[in-house]
Amino acid sequence: MISFPEKSLSESQILAHLQTLKAQDLDWQAGKMMALVYYPGKKYADIIQKAYNLFFTENALNPTAFPSLRRLETETVSMCAHLLGGNEHTAGTLTSGGTESILMAVKTARSWAKAHKPLISLPEIIIPSSAHPAFRKAFYYFGIKPVIIPIDNETYMANVQAMEQAITPHTIMLVGSAPAYPHGVIDDIKAIAAVAQKNNLLMHVDACVGGFMLPFLKQLGKPIPDFDLSVQGVTSISADLHKYGYAAKGASVILYSTVELRKHQFFVDTAWEGGIYASPSMLGSRAGGSIAAAWTALQAIGKQGYTALMSDAWEARQTIKKGIENIKDLKIIGNPQGTIVAFGSNKLDIYAIADELSLKGWHFDRQQKPASIHLTIMPAHKATAAQFVADLQAAVQQVNKFGWQKLTTNMQVEAVKGLKKIVSDSTFARLQSLMPQGKINEGKNVQRSAAMYGMMGTLSGTGALNDLVTDFLDKLNSLK
Ligand SMILES: *Cc1c(COP(=O)(O)O)cnc(C)c1O
């Protein structure tokens, strides 16, 4: 425990301390981060930040107190509806992020089913296995039975036929992603929506990462399938303003095909001593800043600006994708149609390649099933894409040279597998020392983590790994 501050620190002390802490973070401005940070360049970022600061103190909890925020929010929702195939019936709200939008879509589906299918006691929602974990989180929070259908192992798309076969009298909603985060592959939204409509089910499109990517790729003439509210049978869609919309963190939109459906999202309490309490989404107090910043991003960048930014990202994507395809032992996963690309290898240890790239300052996600590297490619990477390809070539050579590294990884994985056979899940969970401390996201002093990822792949989905990660989260949320 550290003590609660007795006296105040001066502004210079505080800022100096914050700068020191910040210096240990990854330097996203170097254009080597392929996840987490979406940056539209200084010109736009400055305006968006100004807008945030202008509404830094205001609270969107009570829209009658701040009609400005109400107006900014409804206008932002409306502009998003226009972008994403909505019509005069479309209704939505802003949320704090993709997770909240998805939680709301699931909660709304549950309330809709209570009203329209009252005989269902344990509602089921069918998702492709590649759908974002926010869905499983929502099922866990709201008591929905998860029905998770493995994606097609060649296309990495949702297996629509298997999803249809999984429908029972308790099913309330189907889900598709445009695109799914892991491989950047777009599910066949038309087909899923048609199945939903035929069976009188809701259908949600997770366009959290694609909502402000795909429309502008279409604008550039890229072949993007229909994925939004214009598709027959789609009843809701989520899109994150704080990803390719370049808004400040804390902004996403959830849109419904009808006002009636949106009503199932709302919470109202008229019995409270404190007066009538009405809340559209999960949060109570809501940051005025993120609403103002979202509105400002759309207005300041506009269709032309977004299309130009997407053009830069696409150029980087082409360089990187071609670079990967030109390396014999690597392969792109599925057919990514946007600016998210994942790749793996049949021959080399992709996690060892990842380690070499990390040592050169690149940051990205390491994935499992199949073992792969995930790149979210952004406008900033136009300047660094060629360097990435050169570093990747060098990394592959390095790993080819030191074949023993794969061997040691394999030996460790085998050792873990062996261990797994002889100890119980709970004993195994106590072996958390296997997990290098604080290394899920490598800091500056990167260490090789290929062995750990190999091990995690082996244990994926088991209680043992869940326990390890829960302990790890506990550590991350404690003072060191
Ligand atoms: C990012 C993302 C989410 C979750 O959004 P958060 O803003 O991180 O809560 C959901 N689905 C997809 C496809 C995403 O890319």
Q: What is the tens place of the pLDDT at every residue in 130-159?
A: 999 999 999 999 999 999 999 999 999 999
Is residue 206 within 6 Å of ligand 1 at its C-beta? yes
pLDDT tens column, 266-300: 999 999 999 889 999 999 999 999 999 999 999 99
Q: Which of residues 376 and 451 earns the better pLDDT score?
A: 376
pLDDT of residue 193: 98
Q: If you measure from the C-alpha of residue 125 to the centroid of ligand 1, how many angstroms do you get, rounded to a whole number? A: 18
Atom of ligand 1 nearest to the CA of 99: 9
Q: Is the shortest distance between the CB of 240 and ligand 1 below 6 Å? A: yes
Mind listing the pLDDT tens digit for each residue in 322-366? 999 999 999 999 999 999 999 999 999 999 999 999 999 999 999
What was the pLDDT predicted at 27? Answer: 87
Give the residue carrying structure tokens 């400055």: 46
Q: State in Å: Cα 424 to ligand 1 middle.
A: 34
Summarised one tens digit per residue, pLDDT across range 382-393 is: 999 999 999 999
* Long-range own/partner contacts, residues 403-412 (CB < 8 A, 24 or more apart): 405/349, 405/352, 405/450, 406/348, 406/349, 406/352, 408/451, 409/349, 409/351, 409/352, 409/450, 409/451, 409/454, 410/454, 412/451, 412/454, 412/455
Q: What is the CA radius of gyration of the chain?
A: 23
Atom of ligand 1 nearest to the CA of 240: 7
Q: Whose CA is nearest to atom 5 of ligand 1?
A: 98
- Does residue 131 line the site of ligand 1, with CB under 6 A? no
Q: What's the gap in Å between 375 CA and the centre of ligand 1?
A: 15
Q: Does the beta carbon of 104 lie inside 6 Å of ligand 1?
A: no
The residue whose CA has the least distance to atom 8 of ligand 1 is: 98
